[in-house]
Amino acid sequence: MRIEVNGVRLFVDVEGAGLVPDGPAMRKKPTLILLHGGPGADHSIYKPAFSQLSDIAQIVYLDHRGNGRSDDSDPARWNLDQWADDLHGLIETLGIDRPILYGASFGGFVAQAYATRYPDTLGALILCATTAKAEFETIYQAFARLGGDEAGDVARTYWNAPTPERRKRYFEVCLPLYSQSGADPDMMARMIVKNPVAMHFNGPDNEMGRFDFRDGLARVSCPVLILSGSHDPMMPVPFSETLLASLGNTPATHHTLHGAGHMIPADAPAEFFAHLRRFITETMPCD
């Protein structure tokens, strides 16, 4: 479905009931909102794997403005403040009370933008394979360690000055290093890729190089789960350690999944979903 928020139609899909019959009462499940990576990807990367959580949470899938099946809008509004405000508008429109926000990679940037702008509205926050501040030299070095000098050079060339041609080469050389188990070809084929929003956002000279949530995360007061992959070249483990250190005023835990790359749910599915299930049931039990 498409829901109009802040002048654009955002694509939203919902899995599972929010209220379920439990004997003589109706039991309320928490709402888990999934924020996809990219930018330039879409919510389909989470299907069908995240369906297994629908017994403990109502799941909301969202395509960000400029991504997937949502409206593109003016590129000047492809920024983290706007994406956070869009999410806030969607939560208010749908009447979601204290959602659990899950953000991976770029989705984690949006999640942090939301959490630092609207900290009192969240029930819980899950940050996966993401960072509070993009340190590009650390990224280039991680690609070189995992894929050799060519991967490091291709990553540096693309991220320093993104172009469609450099992005194509990056997908050929660097994207295979995102997963230790190999990217699912069906998932890659299903995904709607929008290069313009990536060109607009990516790189040190664009907003990806400007955002810094390290100080703002001190405003977050809800429970936080941080997950990282030991073999993630895009968001190396030190990024998650910085996240944890920045969240000094709230209960926060960090787990590194050994043998996992950037695509943690694909590389370590049993451990990954066990962490999510435990966190959701302990912090946001069904009413």
The tokens describing 234, both together, are 């895009």
| Joined tokens for residue 184 | 């699912």
Tally of residues, the chain: 287
CB proximity list for 178: less than 8 A, separation 6 or greater: 232, 233, 234, 261, 262, 263
Helices (H), 33-181: 80-94, 106-117, 136-160, 164-173
Report the 10 Å Cβ neighbour count for 178. 23
Return the residue matching tokens 């949530």.
213
Q: Which residues contact 245 (CB under 8 A, 6 or more apart)?
A: none
Report pLDDT for 232. Answer: 98
Residue 40: the pLDDT is 95
Specify the pLDDT at position 77. 97
Q: What is the pLDDT of residue 44?
A: 97
Distance CA 224, CA 124 (A): 6
pLDDT score for 286: 66
Q: Where are the beta strands (DSSP E) in 166-281?
A: 224-229, 252-257
Q: pTM of whole model > 0.95?
A: yes
Flag residues of the chain having pLDDT under 50: none
User: Model confidence over 171-227: pLDDT tens digits?
Assistant: 999 999 999 998 788 888 999 999 999 999 999 999 999 999 999 999 999 999 999
The secondary structure of residue 36, as a DSSP letter, is -
Task: Report all structural domains of the chain as residue ranges with CATH numbers, in order of start.
Answer: 2-132+214-283 (3.40.50.1820)
Q: How far separated are the first and last CA of the chain, in Å rounded?
A: 27
* CA 179 – CA 182 distance, rounded (Å): 5
